[in-house]
Amino acid sequence: MQLPRWWELGDPCAWTGRGLGTRRMSPATTGTFLLTGEISNDPITFNTNLMGYPDRPGWLRYIQRTPYSDGVLYGSPTADNVGKPTIIEITAYNRRTFETARHNLIINIMSAEDFPLPYQAEFFIKNMNVEEMLASEVLGDFLGAVKNVWQPERLNAINITSALDRGGRVPLPINDLKEGVYVMVGADVPFSSCLREVENPQNQLRCSQEMEPVITCDKKFRTQFYIDWCKISLVDKTKQVSTYQEVIRGEGILPDGGEYKPPSDSLKSRDYYTDFLITLAVPSAVALVLFLILAYIMCCRREGVEKRNMQTPDIQLVHHSAIQKSTKELRDMSKNREIAWPLSTLPVFHPVTGEIVPPLHTDNYDSTNMPLMQTQQNLPHQTQIPQQQTTGEY
């Protein structure tokens, strides 16, 4: 596998014989490094990290859409990183041949106090992704359009951030929608009147109603860049007042009491035996009293229960005797045949002839063997219901 080629958009990195690339940056600029593989169609992915650490510095970002696309390493260092060389380990993986290659990129961050850019404007470009904006020709065209509107002597791109890093949504894969990108530029002259038009009340009202403001210089960007003028931010660092206040010693601050003097080792010993006994004796005494009260209630107050238990056998015997007497009476009644028949068995009139019909049960009929329900049989005295004749017989 051929070693990958590394370029920095704008000025190429100066590679040494050991494969170390050196790049100088300042907090007032955005550094962009394009990571691309050999001239082939092999899928190659890149892994970047700070030497000795598993991840990159907080100000440095990396993006690669697919293994067949180029990787972009970009970011803007802060003032805390000035004077500290940053070594980035870049490892390339060939997904087809499984070969790897590694290079080290040294970034020297210099101070930007010699070239201050106090006037900063941040634009939101809706029709661009971050990797598209980081291309040298695209970023150059955008800075050229801003320079025509602003007319500064010095103009630099300070920060480039994807809209997703600002809490934006991933666009739907329709109509070639883009994620959007924030571009902050800095200049050494005050803002132009065109940029100030966003701050007038009419445009602020239109932005609150989700309408596009009327900007006279928008046509200079519209050919290539769709700018959301409602999200533009203008920062004038010359008018920012420092929030640092010197501490003034007053009544609220205690005077200096000298060095701390710890207590001596000769402390008076204290006996905790009495405290220990009190801590255990009081809860134990309360628990004992409660136990005695409960034992008295459960064991000594059982007279009513014993009386009820003594009366229970007599009641059960009486109840059992009553059941036996009732059972005997029922058996005697079933054997006695001279008892009057129920009304349902007395003679009734025939519904057709009017004659008296004798009861269904004769005197010698054993009622103990009679089923609960009579079967549907033609008994001797059962009335026959005439059946309807069919039409064919007439």
Above pLDDT 90, what percent of the chain? 11
Q: Give pLDDT < 70 ranges for the chain.
A: 1-34, 36-40, 112-115, 240-255, 302-314, 336-394
Identify the CATH class of 7-109: mainly beta
Asked if 158 contacts 79 with a C-beta cutoff of 8 angstroms, the reply is no
The whole-model pTM stands at: 0.54
User: Where do the structural domains in the chain lie, given as residue ranges?
Assistant: 7-109, 119-236
CA distance 270 to 272: 6
Instruction: Give residue 338's pLDDT.
Output: 56
Q: What is the pLDDT of residue 16?
A: 27
Cα(293)–Cα(117) distance, integer angstroms: 89
Question: Per residue, what are the HEC states of 270-305?
Answer: CCCHHHHHHHHHHHHHHHHHHHHHHHHHHHCCCHHH
Which amino acid belongs to residue 145?
A
Euclidean distance between CA atoms 108 and 29, whole angstroms: 13
Radius of gyration in angstroms for the set of CA atoms belonging to the chain, rounded to a whole number: 53
**CB atoms < 10 A from the CB of 183, how many?**
25
Angle value at C-alpha 181, between 176 and 187, nearest 5 degrees: 140
Q: List pLDDT tens digits, range 245-277.
A: 666 666 666 667 777 777 777 777 778 888 888
| Alpha carbon distance 194, 176 (integer Å) | 30
For 273-317, the pLDDT digits (tens) are 888 888 999 999 999 999 999 998 888 876 655 555 555 666 778
- Counting Cα atoms < 13 Å in the Cβ hemisphere of 208 gives 7
CA 247 to chain centre: 44
Residue 205 has, within 13 A of its CA and on its CB side, a CA count of 3
pLDDT at 15: 28
Mind giving me the DSSP string for 300-354? T--HHHHHHHHHHHHHHHHHHHHHHHHHHHHHHHHH---SPPPGGGS-EE-TTT-
